[in-house]
């Protein structure tokens, strides 16, 4: 009787230990999956990006995310830039590349006008990183690369002259992107970048 009791106790302790280990492992897997989800770039352009591409008369558009606080391009982001630019080059000569990038906060409201200096700097660094990578993978591309920071609203002069910077920002606002004062951040673009490639089709 005593032997059976000891046997049952050993089995009970073993089962309890296994269950605890499994629960911990599942929790770790869930945590890792969430972390991966947060750092995975957007593989399909959003509706706002597609609308902007349509207005710019191009079908070559990609959209991806940055890790919070970082200007480094992830391997997936680099792959997306490579793929969209290669597809564009098959069609013809690249005339212009437009890079629209957010800091880690949403586009500033009309009241705020611009984000903090550190956020403006982050958006600029991200734009520069994308520009440098595009030049690296396609050094023969002669088209201009226009950088647009979504960390500040267009200046009075840009609005007055209806510059490309101002038109793109107005277009994104009309598409419904949230700003720094929005109560709902649905469809938010913080930490994201949209890249448009405009091509001059080759004559056949």
pLDDT tens string 172-190: 999 999 999 998 888 899 9
Does residue 52 share a domain with residue 25? no
Instruction: Please answer whether residues 177 and 105 qualify as being in contact, where contact means their C-beta atoms are separated by less than 8 angstroms.
Output: no
Does residue 97 share a domain with residue 34? no
Pick the closest to residue 71 from 141, 118, 113 (CA basis).
118
Does residue 93 share a domain with residue 2? no
Residue 1 binned pLDDT confidence (cut-offs 50, 70, 90) = low
Q: What is the pLDDT of residues 84-112, one digit of tens each?
A: 999 999 998 899 999 999 999 999 999 99
Pick the closest to residue 192 from 123, 113, 131, 128 (CA basis).
123
As a whole number, mean pLDDT of residues 64-80 equals 97
Q: Domain containing 112: what range?
A: 41-201
Does residue 52 share a domain with residue 9? no
Does residue 162 share a domain with residue 129? yes
Tokens at 144, concatenated: 């201009």
Does residue 55 share a domain with residue 28? no
In the predicted structure, residue 117 carries a pLDDT above the cut 90 = yes
More confident residue, 137 or 15: 137
Whole-number Å distance between alpha carbons of 177 and 84: 24
Give, as one character, the DSSP assignment of residue 74.
P
In the predicted structure, residue 154 carries a pLDDT above the cut 90 = yes
As a whole number, mean pLDDT of residues 115-123 equals 98
Does residue 45 share a domain with residue 35? no
pLDDT attached to residue 155: 86
Tally of domains in the chain: 2
Does residue 67 share a domain with residue 32? no
CA atoms within 13 Å, Cβ hemisphere of 154: 21
Does residue 63 share a domain with residue 26? no
CATH number of the CATH domain containing 137: 3.30.1330.60
Does residue 28 share a domain with residue 62? no
Length of the chain: 204
Whole-number Å distance between alpha carbons of 104 and 118: 10
Does residue 187 share a domain with residue 89? yes
As a whole number, mean pLDDT of residues 13-41 equals 45
Does residue 127 share a domain with residue 60? yes
């Amino acid at each position: 009787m005593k032997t059976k009791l000891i046997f049952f106790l050993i089995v009970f302790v073993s089962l309890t230990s296994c269950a605890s280990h499994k629960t911990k492992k599942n929790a770790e897997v869930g945590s890792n999956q969430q972390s991966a989800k947060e750092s995975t770039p957007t593989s399909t352009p959003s509706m706002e990006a597609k609308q902007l591409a349509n207005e710019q008369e191009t079908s070559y558009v990609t959209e991806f995310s940055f890790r919070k606080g970082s200007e480094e391009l992830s391997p997936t982001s680099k792959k997306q830039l490579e793929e969209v630019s290669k597809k564009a080059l098959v069609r013809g000569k690249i005339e212009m590349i437009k890079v629209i990038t957010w800091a880690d906060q949403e586009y500033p409201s009309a009241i705020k006008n611009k984000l903090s200096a550190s956020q403006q700097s982050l958006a600029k660094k991200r734009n520069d990183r994308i520009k440098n990578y595009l030049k690296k993978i396609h050094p023969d591309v002669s088209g201009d690369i226009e950088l647009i920071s979504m960390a500040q609203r267009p200046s009075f002069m840009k609005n007055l002259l209806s510059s490309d910077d101002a038109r793109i920002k107005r277009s994104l606002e009309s598409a419904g992107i949230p700003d720094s004062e929005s109560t709902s951040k649905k469809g938010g673009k913080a930490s994201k970048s949209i890249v448009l490639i405009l091509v001059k089709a080759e004559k056949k």
